[in-house]
Amino acid sequence: MIESPTVLKQKIFIDGQAGTTGLRIRQWIQDRRDIELLTLADSDRRSVTARQQAISLSDLTILCLPDEAAGEAAIWAQDAGTRVLDASTCHRIADDWTYGLPELCGDQRARIVSADRVSNPGCYSSTFILLLRPLIDAGLMPTNVPISIHALSGYSGGGKSMIERWENPENELATISYEAPYALERVHKHIPEMQRYTGLTVQPQFLPAVGSFHSGMRVQVPLHESIFYNKPDGEEIWSLLDQRYKGERFVHVAPFAGFEAASEIELDPTQFNGSNQLQIHIYPNPAGHILLVGLLDNLGKGASGVAVQCLNLMLGLPEHEGLPG
């Protein structure tokens, strides 16, 4: 009788697996044969001793924690010699951490593969970066221009507190027929990484909003014709982005439709829910302006999906392993 070869399982611990990001990561990796998922009893989830032990036993720990707690746990991981992937905002622009966006640029995957500490990107910010950075890299626009971003997310993007607020019938939010802007009174936590990884020297104006749906996201970046060098048309910009992401499994550029009007459902922010896909659209205007749009699942490609991509790369496994299309 021929025995099946033994599969070497690498140990993974998700610190904070009960949150929205942690739950989705666990869902996508828990049945894999190449991974052993270390878990804590409910009674031990807040135990420093139990968490430190799990971190030290793991080959890689994923932090799905608030920023302060993530910073503390990252120190534990470093002391234990454990590689770490942090899904919080804590280390996204830290010089000694690697930004976990594989599609960022040509050598980013290699950096993630060799990194011991990787910071998972934000949902809004990763989409904005993938929309805008190719234009800056190609020299189509300067970095010292003000950019506006309008984005719409499902309420799961705000974590447990926002989910509870929107799903509480007493608040009467679940049935509102309009988007609700938020974070207008502060500098959004995604702004620093938006600047850092596009190279913008002027802080963009970010206008996020929440809709009465659980998950899904649309990020819109309008670009005025006056900011461009040599006035590229919409098809040139489409071609640039199409070539940049050609061959990518999880980032796709929709066909160019010129000045054809978009249908009412074309930019539905929920259409990629449950997937790890980002779809990019380019809309030219006869006045020379350009609108860039990204559609994704804020819990998929915006959070847990890209975390699994990074997990796979750090473990030397196929990047798409365990992920839906």
Known catalytic residue at 310: no
CATH number at residue 246: 3.30.360.10
Residue 5 belongs to some domain of the structure: no
Residue 322 belongs to some domain of the structure: no
Residue 277 belongs to some domain of the structure: yes
At 55, which amino acid appears? I
Closest listed residue to residue 278, CA positions, set 215, 218, 198, 220: 218
What total of structural domains would you count in the chain?
Answer: 2
With residue 80 as reference, give the H or E element that holds it.
helix 67-80
Q: What is the pLDDT of residue 3?
A: 45
Could you tell me if residue 16 is left (phi over 0), alpha (psi between -120 and 50 degrees) or otherwise beta?
A: left
**Cβ atoms of 127 and 227 closer than 8 Å:** no
Same domain, 283 and 134: yes
Could you give the strand order of the β-sheet that contains 278-284, starting from the edge strand earlier in sequence? Answer: 180-181, 205-211, 148-154, 217-223, 290-296, 278-284, 251-253
Same domain, 136 and 269: yes
Residue 127 belongs to some domain of the structure: yes
Same domain, 140 and 92: no
Residue 4 belongs to some domain of the structure: no
Mean pLDDT of successive 10-residue stretches along the chain, which has 325 residues:
59 94 95 95 93 98 97 97 97 97 97 98 97 98 97 93 92 91 91 97 96 97 97 97 98 95 94 98 96 98 97 97 90
Q: Would you state the structure tokens that stand for residue 120, as one six-digit string?
A: 């998972």
Same domain, 178 and 100: no
CATH number at residue 24: 3.40.50.720
Residue 83: give the domain boundaries: 10-120+303-314
Same domain, 81 and 136: no
Residue 290 forms beta bridges with which residues? 223, 284
**Longest Cα separation, the chain:** 73
Same domain, 175 and 282: yes
This prediction has a pTM of 0.95
Q: What is the pLDDT of residue 7?
A: 58
Burial class of 99 by CB neighbour count within 10 A (0 to 12, 13 to 18, 19+): buried
The CA radius of gyration of the chain, in Å to the nearest whole number, is 20
Same domain, 79 and 181: no
Set 64, 90, 123, 310: catalytic member = 123
Same domain, 151 and 280: yes
Same domain, 214 and 106: no
Could you tell me if residue 52 is left (phi over 0), alpha (psi between -120 and 50 degrees) or otherwise beta?
A: alpha
Residue 118 forms beta bridges with which residues? 85, 98
Q: Which residues contact 49 (CB under 8 A, 6 or more apart)?
A: none
Same domain, 146 and 287: yes
Residue 325 belongs to some domain of the structure: no
Same domain, 142 and 265: yes
DSSP label at 3? P
Same domain, 108 and 35: yes
Residue 197 belongs to some domain of the structure: yes
Residue 68 belongs to some domain of the structure: yes
